[in-house]
C-alpha cells in the first residue's frame, strides 16, 4: 500500500475544501437550515408530531441525509472529472499507484467532507429543536456508510460524464426527487397503502428510515433491512468501479 500517494491525493482534495469554504461548507449548511426553518415552520405548525416525535425533530435525520447524498455525489464526481477535463488524470494513472489507492484517496476525501457537513448540520439543528440520538453507534455507521457509498457513486458519475452538464443531470433529475419522495419530510406510513408500496421501491427510503431509527427508534422499514440495502449499494458501486479500472472505461482515451 502506497500510503504516501493516498495521503497526497487525500490532502489535495481536502485542501480544495478549505480554499472553497463558502461553497463546500457554508452553502450546504445554509440551504439545509433554510429547509429546516421553512418546512419546520410551515408544516410543523400543522403537523405537531409524527410517531410521538415533534415534526421539527423528525425531519432532522432526513435533512442530514439529503445534504450527505448531494454533497457526496457532487464532491467525488467533480474531484475525478476535473482531472479528466484538464488532462492531468493521465499523470495520476501513470504514477506508481494502484487503482485502489487512487480510489481510496478521492473517495476518502469526498466521504470525509460529507461526514463533516452532516455533523455540522446536526449541531446546527440542535439549536432549533431537541434532538435525541438513541443509538449513536448505528447513527455513525449509517453516516459513514452512506457517505462512502454515494461518494463511490459520484466517482462513477464523474468518470461517466463527458461534459459539465452530465455532472448535474443525475443529482438533479434522479437523486433529488428520490430524496424528497423518500420520507425526508414525512413518514411513508402517512401515505395511502398503494403509495406506501410504491415508496418501497425507492432506495432512499431505506437510507433515511434506518438513519432516523438511530435517532428516535422510529422507522418505516426494519433497520436491518435498511443497513442491508446500504451495504448492497456500496458493494454494487465497488463492483462497477472495479470494472471501470479493469477495462479503462473513459480513462484511457
Are 79 and 13 spatial neighbours (Cβ–Cβ below 8 Å)? yes
Q: List the grid coordinates of 79.
A: 474531484
pLDDT tens string, the chain, 253 residues long: the values are 777 878 888 888 888 777 777 777 777 778 777 777 777 666 666 777 787 888 888 888 988 998 899 889 988 888 888 888 777 777 777 777 888 888 898 999 999 999 999 998 888 888 878 888 999 999 999 999 999 999 999 999 988 988 777 788 888 888 888 888 888 888 888 889 898 899 989 999 999 999 999 999 888 899 999 999 999 999 999 999 989 888 878 776 5
CB 199 within 8 A of CB 191: yes
The answer to whether the CB of 76 falls within 8 A of the CB of 156 is: no
Please give the pLDDT value at position 194: 92
Distance separating alpha carbons of residues 239 and 216, to the nearest angstrom: 34
| pLDDT value for 45 | 63
Place of cell 455507521: 141
Decide: 207 and 139 in contact? Cβ < 8 Å.
no
Helix or strand (DSSP H, E) at 55: helix 55-58
Helix (H) or strand (E) segment spanning residue 144: helix 136-160
Q: What angle do CA 172, 175, 181 make, to 5 degrees?
A: 110
Alpha carbon of 6 to those of 3, 76, 118, 140, 173: distances in Å?
5, 15, 24, 24, 33
Q: 54 by DSSP, 3-state: which?
A: strand
pLDDT at 79: 86
pLDDT confidence of residue 142:
94
Cell of 169: 443531470
The pTM of the full predicted model, rounded to 2 decimals, is 0.89
Q: Which candidate, 185, 147, 181, 202, places its Cα nearest to that of 62?
A: 185
Q: What is the DSSP letter of 128?
A: T
- Enumerate the domain spans of the chain: 3-247
What would the DSSP string read from start to end of 151-220?
HHHHHHHHHH-SSHHHHHHHIIIIIHHHHHTTTSSS-GGGS-HHHHHHHTT-HHHHHHHHHHHHHHS--S
Give dist(CA 152, CA 164) in Å, integer. Answer: 18
Secondary structure (3-state) at 118: helix
Amino acid at each position: 500500500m502506497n500510503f504516501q500517494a493516498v495521503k497526497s491525493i487525500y490532502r489535495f482534495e481536502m485542501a480544495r475544501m478549505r480554499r472553497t469554504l463558502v461553497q463546500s461548507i457554508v452553502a450546504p449548511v445554509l440551504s439545509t437550515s433554510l429547509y429546516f426553518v421553512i418546512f419546520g415552520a410551515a408544516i410543523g405548525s400543522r403537523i405537531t408530531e409524527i410517531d410521538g416525535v415533534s415534526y421539527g425533530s423528525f425531519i432532522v435525520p432526513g435533512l442530514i441525509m439529503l445534504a450527505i447524498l448531494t454533497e457526496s455525489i457532487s464532491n467525488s464526481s467533480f474531484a475525478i472529472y476535473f482531472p479528466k477535463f484538464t488532462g492531468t488524470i493521465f499523470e495520476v494513472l501513470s504514477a506508481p499507484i494502484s487503482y485502489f489507492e487512487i480510489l481510496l484517496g478521492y473517495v476518502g476525501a469526498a466521504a470525509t467532507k460529507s461526514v463533516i457537513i452532516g455533523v455540522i448540520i446536526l449541531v446546527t439543528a440542535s439549536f432549533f429543536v431537541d434532538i435525541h440520538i438513541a443509538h449513536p453507534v448505528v447513527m455513525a455507521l449509517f453516516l459513514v456508510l452512506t457517505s462512502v457509498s454515494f461518494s463511490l457513486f459520484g466517482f462513477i458519475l464523474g468518470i461517466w460524464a463527458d461534459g459539465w452538464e452530465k455532472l448535474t443531470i443525475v443529482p438533479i433529475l434522479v437523486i433529488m426527487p428520490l430524496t424528497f419522495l423518500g420520507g425526508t419530510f414525512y413518514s411513508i406510513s402517512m401515505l395511502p397503502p398503494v403509495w406506501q408500496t410504491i415508496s418501497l421501491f425507492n432506495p432512499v427510503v431505506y437510507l433515511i428510515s434506518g438513519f432516523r431509527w438511530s435517532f428516535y427508534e422510529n422507522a418505516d422499514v426494519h433497520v436491518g433491512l435498511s443497513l442491508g440495502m446500504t451495504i448492497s449499494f456500496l458493494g454494487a458501486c465497488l463492483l462497477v468501479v472495479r470494472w471501470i479500472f479493469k477495462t479503462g472505461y473513459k480513462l484511457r482515451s
